[in-house]
């Protein structure tokens, strides 16, 4: 599994974990493997899933700080939020991925999963961090 595929799996797992915040990283990983009919998760998917879940409050707080007045994090489309969380985690904590590459990968995930109208929003939000 290449990095893009690992990131795609991680984004879907983060989306799942955001649906029920009680899930542990291990539970999310197990459900993701079953849901996507995978044999195993890649090491990079596991790193992203565990990192985003561990830093969830911090990541959401930082994203919320760049929202327009009277906007709240819970107004963001859930797929877009998962994309933002994975990308911001990579920007802040990945030793393997350059920040600009994390933004480009997030935009690629937008093309695959998000509403086309969300792409400029995601690009603009992530631009605040690089």
Residue 69 has pLDDT above 90, yes or no: no
Give pLDDT tens digits for 18-37. 999 899 999 999 999 999 99
- The pLDDT score that the predictor gives to residue 9 is 96
DSSP 56-82: HHHHHHHHHTTSPTT--GGGS-HHHHH
Question: Which tops the pLDDT comparison, 99 or 96?
Answer: 99
Q: What is the CA angle 21-27-32, rounded to 5? A: 100
Q: What is the CA angle 18-19-23, rounded to 5? A: 75
- The pLDDT score that the predictor gives to residue 72 is 87
* Residue 54 Cα distances to 18, 23, 25, angstroms: 12, 12, 8
Residue 37 to residue 25: CA distance in whole angstroms? 18
């Amino acid at each position: 599994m290449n990095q893009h595929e690992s990131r795609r799996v991680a984004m879907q797992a983060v989306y799942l974990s955001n649906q029920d915040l009680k899930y542990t990283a291990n539970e999310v990983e197990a459900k993701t493997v079953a849901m996507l009919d995978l044999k195993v998760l890649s090491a990079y998917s596991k790193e992203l899933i565990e990192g985003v879940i561990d830093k969830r409050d911090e990541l959401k707080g930082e994203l919320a700080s760049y929202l327009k007045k009277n906007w709240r994090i819970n107004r963001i489309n859930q797929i877009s939020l998962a994309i933002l969380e994975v990308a911001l985690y990579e920007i802040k904590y990945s030793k393997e991925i350059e920040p600009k590459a994390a933004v480009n990968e997030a935009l690629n995930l937008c093309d695959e999963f998000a509403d086309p109208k969300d792409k400029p929003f995601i690009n603009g939000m992530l631009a605040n961090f690089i």
